[in-house]
Chains A and B, each alone.
Chain A
Amino acid sequence: MKNIKSKLAISIVFLFSSLFFSCQENENPNSISQGEMIVEFDNYVGNQNMVIDEVGSTNYRYSTANGQEFNLTRFGYYISHVRLEGPNGEVFIDEMNASADANQIKGYYRVVQGESDTYNIHLKNIPEGQYNKIIFNLGVKEDGIQEGAVGGILDRAAGAWFWNWNSGFINYIIEGHSPASLRDENRLQIHIGGWKNIPSADENPQRFFDNNVEVSLPFDATVRVSETMRPSPHIIMDLLKVIGDTDLAIQNNIHSPAAAVPFVQKLAEAFVVDHTHQ
């Protein structure tokens, strides 16, 4: 009996150790080496650096094309589905995962003006090679919403920009004050969101607007990613490209997908790769 027990014990030890390996993720031994890239976002209003003021501030730093002054008390946007492409068919697709566990969220980023640690998007596991184009989605698509409650930068309780009455995220948020706005405290709120499209059928018009925008930006030069080379494209976003022609006396309170459409058409234009550090 003792003999059997000890044999059993040995096999258990053996099994545990084999189990230890069997549960490990399979590392592909032939995989080509990988590198990283840091994509930097730099927000401007025309040629001025973007600065966030206190709510209530009457210091109007910026003005639109027709001279309406304004300031900003909150500004930012979500980025997801990042992709890189290269001249020789290289493709890198950033992994996406929406999860309740903040540590398991993958591929969602949020640039919040005033929080400098959000300006850099750190892409990892990029196959070694040459790249000359970045493509990303501005906003959060259906895959970040219809999985249900999610954590981290998508957690409403942790400050996510989420509409509760018409479920979905605000893809691009502009808040501030403008003397041109006759609302309480000269408020300016342009919340651009919406993720569904129900195209028009028969005599019915389109319902919902998918206000996610694909932004596709060529780099100023081809860059090389490798284990030792971590390039850093520097993207400039200019808010005046989005609201420069807006009459802030009228368009100062945007809170729904349909109302945001005129702004959405200009969003892709607001981004440009300024230069790339190799």
Chain B
Amino acid sequence: MKYNLTSRDRLIWPALLFVVIVWVGCVSESDEPKLSLYRFEKPSHFPEPTYTFQNNDVNEKGFKLGKMLFFDPSLSRDGSVSCSSCHVQSHAFADTWLHPFSFGVEDREGVRNSPPLFNLAFQNEFFWDGGVTHLDFAPILAIESEIEMDESFENLVHKLNNHAQYPRLFKEAFGVEEVTGPYVLHAFSQFMLLMVSADSRYDQFVKGDQNALNQEEIEGLLLFRKHCESCHREPLFTDLSYRNNGVQKVITDLGRETITEVSQDRAKFKVPSLRNIEVTSPYMHNARFEGLLQVLNHYTEGIQEQVNIDPLVFEDGKPTIKLSDPEKEKIIAFLKSLTDDNFLNNPIFFNSNE
């Protein structure tokens, strides 16, 4: 100790200490300083998140535990399927085109295409029909779905409690002696909440970098704003509503009607984000299209009269969106500028289970 304390210092020291002690003593654990890498940050041009962070703030231990669960096939009934089987990072956590309907245990075929996972903190309803009203509840549906992991959530929590490592990791992340349902769900959410995609060339462009998009892409953006924006609204590229854009030739999936129980919602599905669309083929809830040109051809020529068809895409017996071939090319060029390579290659999401 080489300090030469003046009397003023002597007063300051205890005062400072007091502040620090009160802070450490009274502040709850979740407010501990965190590595910013594992902290949720709202991109400056995004709306406020809707997730209940006050009940489950993201931290490194919870995130890593969530990741371990996400990549762990032993969670499924027969040990063959993990979340990551259908949600693959290089495809923006959508499924690969090899599995348009996402195969679950025993290769049972699902009925809907698995959506990409990102910007979940900004959504208020999940799944194509919006039946899940909080991100925390999404994994229960995946786990218990017969065509996905086909395991009861109760049994899964039981398995985790008897596991060699999980009980210790839950204790470290949440301070609990026993693994219970809500903490499993909180861990999954922590992992998924950090899947924020807001760093594509489009984002750089709207944040002021005029050179981030080339001329063709800028023209594509203007066409997009004219024809697509009313549903695929920036910056999330969805207005979070449910609509029928006519992708079912014959309606076999009732979509939103299953949840709201009114026929006015038949065949309506959540408007999907178009971020990272380049890597999430096939497209639509029923995986009808493999390429983006097919999607645009659907909007300009393919849509037919159908119950609840959205007037923004079909009116007076014909499709409303009219685009020339060069215009379609421009929109596609623009859509590809929504690919967020930093997100697709972000190492924090890499599988680190041995």
Contact = CB atoms under 8 A, between A and B. Distances in A.
Interface in A238-267: 256-259
A23 B133 contact: no
A26 to B, nearest CB: 13
Contact of A100 (B141, B156, B186): B186
Interface string B152-189: 01101100000000000000001010001111111001
A146 interface: yes
A157 B14 contact: no
Contacts of B1: 1
A33 interface: no
B25 A19 contact: yes
Interface in B15-62: 17-18, 21-22, 25-26, 51-52, 55-56
Contact of B18 (A15, A146, A151, A259): A15
A74 B294 CA distance: 52
Given A148-B55, A257-B261, A102 B180 contact: yes
Interface string A141-158: 000011111110001111
A164 B144 contact: yes
A159 interface: yes
Contact of A23 (B26, B55, B183): B26
A30 interface: no
Contacts of B184: 157
Contact of A256 (B10, B261, B265): B261
B13 A8 contact: yes
B264 A146 contact: no
Contacts of A156: 140, 153-154, 181
A12 B16 CA distance: 11
Interface string B51-75: 1100110000000000000000000
A58 interface: no
Interface in A145-188: 145-151, 155-159, 162, 164-168
Contact of A149 (B13, B17, B26, B185): B185
A22 B27 CA distance: 12
A158 B180 contact: yes
A164 B55 contact: no
B110 interface: no
Interface string A56-67: 000000000000
Contacts of B251: none
Interface residues of A, number: 44
B137 interface: yes
Contacts of A157: 153-154, 156-157, 180-181, 184
Nearest to A208: B260
> Size range of the interface on B?
35 or more
Contacts of B133: 145-146, 167-168, 196
A22 B22 contact: yes
Given A165-B131, A166-B131, A256-B261, A149 B137 contact: yes
Contacts of B154: 156-159
Nearest to B52: A148
A155 B14 contact: no
A198 B260 CA distance: 9
Nearest to A205: B262
Contacts of B186: 100, 148-149
Given A11-B14, A100-B56, 19 more contacts: A8-B13, A15-B14, A16-B21, A19-B26, A146-B133, A149-B56, A149-B137, A151-B181, A156-B181, A157-B153, A157-B156, A157-B157, A157-B181, A158-B181, A165-B141, A167-B134, A204-B264, A205-B262, A205-B264
25 contacts: A4-B10, A11-B14, A15-B14, A19-B25, A101-B176, A102-B180, A148-B55, A148-B135, A148-B137, A148-B186, A149-B185, A150-B182, A155-B182, A156-B181, A157-B180, A157-B181, A158-B157, A158-B180, A164-B132, A166-B259, A205-B262, A207-B260, A207-B261, A208-B260, A257-B261
Interface of B: 1, 5, 10, 13-14, 17-18, 21-22, 25-26, 51-52, 55-56, 131-137, 140-141, 144, 153-154, 156-157, 174, 176, 180-186, 189, 258-262, 264-265
